[in-house]
Amino acid sequence: MNTQAVLDYLQQLQAKIVEAIELVDGKHFLQDSWQRPEGGGGNSCLLEEGLVFERAGVGFSHVLGHKLPPSASAAHPEAAGRPWEAMGVSLVFHPRNPYIPTVHMNVRFFVAKAQASHEEDIWWFGGGMDLTPYYGFADDAAHFHRTNKQALDAFDVGYYPAFKKECDDYFYLKHRKEPRGIGGIFFDDFNALGFEKSFAMQRAVGDSFLNAYLPIVQARKDTAYGERERDFQAYRRGRYVEFNLVYDRGTLFGLQSNGRTESILLSMPPIVKWRYDWKPEANSAEAKLYSDFLIAKDWLATA
């Protein structure tokens, strides 16, 4: 198991994505390297008040600890109490134009270290990406899902439908009874292919992100919008905040493991609104998001 190779890849992936987004936006990311007292550190890259992105965060972290926190050991009771090592790249982009969807991507690797000669390290990969539109376009959803499927098909044609379902199930606000967006793929606790092939699959997912998202940005970034669209965008961003603070495993793990708060909350949108019992006008573009996009759907069938 080559942990250093995973570490090197993740740092290169962060740099590659940051460079690509700077070219699209025209503004540079703030680079904020940090160290964690308990062990490890990371680099948080943040772009605020850009021309295309109102807030974009790309975080790399490599942290170590002496005992798994509840958010991790719940799924792995056999690893409880073990020293651990976690590394990953996580990003969230909040565009300025409401016709560009918000996007999230995460790829990570976790090891619970053996403590005795008869034990083995317990390791797994996780990650995925999902799209959260404010004004939906079937072509965008189909492109995003098609790119995800192409990344996974080389490993097993069954992975895309399985990971799509995991994504739909995971990014769901139970208290609202609605999905966060139009999904994508999500996998966790993955080691089914052995280390080398599992790592190759994670790389395929990470490397496909720019191809999945940037064509959508280019297609929508010059679409005209007004205060109505911005207002709806701010309202829908509230769902993003609710999910991240109530359900998101990465957020919970970071806070429970005494992570760096500024980096953990890098995903928060800059402007958000909540309204009491608000509903969109019937037959409006805003209503269409709920009726046509925030539903379980085979997006590849719409292509």
pLDDT in single tens digits along all 303 residues of the chain:
788 999 999 999 999 999 999 999 999 999 999 888 888 889 999 999 999 999 999 999 999 888 776 666 566 777 777 888 999 999 999 999 999 999 999 999 999 887 777 778 889 999 999 999 999 999 999 999 999 999 999 999 999 999 999 999 999 999 999 999 999 999 999 999 999 999 999 999 999 999 999 999 999 999 999 999 999 999 999 999 999 899 887 787 777 777 778 877 888 899 999 999 999 999 999 999 999 999 989 999 865
66 given a catalytic annotation: no
pTM attached to this predicted model: 0.92
Tokens representing residue 78 in the block: 């056999």
* List 62, 104, 143, 145, catalytic entry: 104
Tokens representing residue 200 in the block: 């190759």
Question: What are the helix (H) ranges across the chain?
Answer: 3-25, 70-73, 138-153, 159-170, 194-220, 227-246, 249-256, 261-264, 285-288
Is residue 184 within 8 A of residue 130, CB to CB? The reply is yes
For residue 216, give the nearest of 52, 90, 50, 48 by alpha carbon: 52
- Cα separation, 142 vs 42, in Å, equals 34
pLDDT at 203: 97
Angle between helices 138-153 and 159-170 (to 10 degrees): 130
- In which domain, by residue range, is 224 found? 3-302
pLDDT at 250: 75
For residue 70, give the nearest of 279, 292, 254 by alpha carbon: 254
End-to-end CA distance of the chain: 40
- CATH number for the domain spanning 276: value is 3.40.1500.10
Domain count, the chain: 1
Return the residue matching tokens 């560009």.
Answer: 100
Is residue 184 within 8 A of residue 149, CB to CB? The reply is no
**DSSP string for residues in 69-138:** -HHHHTS-GGGTT--EEEEEEEEEEEESSTTSPEEEEEEEEEEEPP-STT---EEEEEEEEEEE-SS--H
- Cα separation, 161 vs 4, in Å, equals 31
pLDDT at 265: 82
